[in-house]
Amino acid sequence: SPATAGKLLVVPMEGSHWLSMKKALVELSKRGHEIVVVAPDNKILIDSSDVYKLKTYPVPYTKEDMEE
């Protein structure tokens, strides 16, 4: 194989970017990659999954502020 599975760090944006990225992460996980997703704790669409570890960090805005 020209490439081997490795570790990926993903810092996604909310919205359609994340929805498209999530599909790619599922496929990469199937191919043996270890994936860590880093997102703010006020995330709306970014959720936890069995295919990656989700790490969050604090931000000064609440989830309600983001939804508004």
- Average pLDDT value for the chain: 88
Burial 12-49 (b: 16+ CB within 10 A, else e): beeeeebeeebeebeebbeeebebebebbebbeebeee
Asked if the structure places residue 21 within a domain, the reply is yes
For residue 52, the enclosing domain spans: 7-66
Asked if the structure places residue 2 within a domain, the reply is no
Q: Which residue has the tokens 């295919």?
A: 51
Domains identified in the chain, total number = 1
Give the pLDDT confidence score for residue 3 in this predicted structure: 64
pLDDT category of residue 33 using cuts at 50, 70 and 90: very high
Asked if the structure places residue 53 within a domain, the reply is yes
* Statement: the pTM of the whole predicted model exceeds 0.85: no
Tell me the average pLDDT across 30-51.
92
Asked if the structure places residue 18 within a domain, the reply is yes
